[in-house]
Structure 1
Amino acid sequence: MGYALFKKSWKDIIFEKRNKEYGAYELREEYDGYILRALIIAVIFAFLSIAGPGIYKWLFPEKPFQREEMIEVDLAKLPPPPENPNEPPPPPPPKIELPKVETIKFLPPEVKKDELVNEPPPTIEEVKEAVISNKSEEGEKGDETAIVVEESAPVAIEEPKEEEVLLYAEQMPSFAGGYKEMMLFIQKNIVYPKEALNMGIEGKVYVEFIVDAQGNLSNFIVKRGIGYGCDEAAVSVMKKMPRWEPARVNGRPVKLKTSIPIVFKLG
């Protein structure tokens, strides 16, 4: 009897000699399964809540954010679009012909001697039929308005202005062959000043210059230097450079001001 007691579960002991078809026994019989399933589901949810973001980032990696540079462009400083030499000039405006009105010259009277009078004043009948003006012309009678055409003054032709120096263009100027070729040229032609070598001076010299429409370099100015002869050496190597590819706006070469750093480094 004692051995059989230990083999029985607590549910069998409680519901011994009772109606096991009752719902309470069935609920207690399936209780362990419910607890196990609830525990498994809770563990799964806990795992997903912790590891879910990492799994999502692994499956769908984020693209690196690229910050766009905003460049301010002053439209007033941009040159006008190039003229097409093959395009025919616009036709002249149509000439408007005004109707001619008969006028008669009648100026304020002046007291003169008879022998100095070249043209006698008009009579009253002539004045009635024509319009008073500063000169006599033939035309239609009866119009009360006289149209006097004055000769226009000659138009002054402005001298061409000096080409404007831009600070930005659609296509910026560049060394022939690209940036790497420019660095090789500087390394081959630059002379490290002895004073800077003795003092162990290193750094960058920023040289500003102008690239004209033909690619020539001029107007060299050291905007920020390090001294000890490095500023002069940077300008010297810039003057040795060949022609650059000029800046372009709408496909037309323009003059532009820019700057580059010349690096001085020991070792």
Structure 2
Amino acid sequence: MPGAELAGRITAAFQPIVMRCRRGWSVFAYEALARGPTGEPADAVLGALRRAADPHVVDMACRIAALRDAASLGLAALPTLVSINVLPNAALRPETCLAATVAAARRYGFPPERVLFEMTETEAVRDVALLAEIIAAQRAQGVRVALDDFGAGHSGLGLLVACRPDIVKLDRHLVRGADRDPVRARLARAVAQACRDLGIVVVAEGVETAGELDALHAAGIRHFQGYLLSRPGLGCLPDASAALRAAEATLRRARAAPRA
């Protein structure tokens, strides 16, 4: 399998994506984040690998490493999704496509309905129509698809219309300071409302402060990811229970505080 040898030079750290519903807070998914063999940052490791090998094969290697490490940590036994990043153009190639990753996921104990593919925004999509067909075929098998970094880079409204994702991840540049910047707050609310009308889940990523969490929750967002809730865990699945309790306490305080 392409990328299998490279996967030995990559490890995965896992960060929870949490959600709030009527029953309270829970972990929705764990996103796999590429790291080096001893936890080196993704930029340094992937930069070196992509200079030495086909970037799309490296991308496949990251997916294999993510599934391998997720299985070794027992994630397959949990009722959450495993979220894996994908370069859109890698999905267009037979040897590095989504179907090949789903087959690998099955071997590691993850059925398609437990897999979430995050389409990253680091490259322009070469063939949007073909990507839409590929995504539709995998969604028919139960796989879920997210547009990552929505509102930045190449991840925009055109790709949303063409690919009809299950999830949109609001870019951290729109999240940052949403409690202090009315423009960011209004944009977050507009995206949340539009996606709600379309049946798309919105995840606010990069949440770092209690104020941001409160503002984004007030904007109608119910899925969150960021250092406020949990840092990525290398060699472990972070225990998000304390962070979930803290998030609920934050919202309770915000609701009780007088509004200006």
| TM-score, normalisation: structure 2 | 0.19
Higher relative contact order (CA 8 A, sep 6+): 2
Give the structure with higher Rg (CA): 1
Structure with greater helix share of residues: 2
